[in-house]
Amino acid sequence: MRTVRAAAAVVLDERGRLLLVQRGRAPQRGRWTLPGGALEPGETVAGAAAREVLEETGLRVRVRRELGTVRVPAGEDLVYEVHDVEAVACGGTLRAGDDAAAVRWASPGELAGLPTTDGLIGHLVRFGVLPPEPAGG
């Protein structure tokens, strides 16, 4: 089993909205997710997260801390080890770039109505970014 280290950024704006990219490529093309991608040789998780946000959204960010790690299977012999980080936007102009079909800010309430990548909302709850869903509802 080959493991590819990757980074993704949880970026919230001053209104508590989450920065999302719509995947322009497989897997899960057309679904909304966090900006992110594979680490390049010698790159840190923070460096990769900041680079990917800039490439995919046009925004510059400052990484604050790592939130946790998610293992994402990508076939029989491949798994992505994605390190999610908390980051804040500090410049740039929002626009879709690289392999993002679109970019947007979404409030926590809007997430349930969007086609998101498998497990995204659960991971955001686990990392404390979103509140847990009420029991029974």
Asked if the model's pLDDT at residue 98 lies above 80, the reply is no
Residues 6+ apart with CB under 8 A from 46: 7, 63, 85
- pLDDT category of residue 12 using cuts at 50, 70 and 90: very high
CA distances from 126 to 33, 70, 117 (A): 16, 11, 15
* Identity at 48, one-letter amino acid code: A
pTM of the model: 0.92
Instruction: Report pLDDT digits (tens) over 28-42.
Output: 889 999 999 999 999
pLDDT value of position 134: 55
- Spelled out in words, what is the top-level CATH class assigned to the domain 2-126? alpha beta
What is the residue extent of each domain of the chain? Answer: 2-126
Instruction: Report pLDDT digits (tens) over 57-80.
Output: 999 999 999 999 999 888 889 999
Tokens of 74: 């990508």
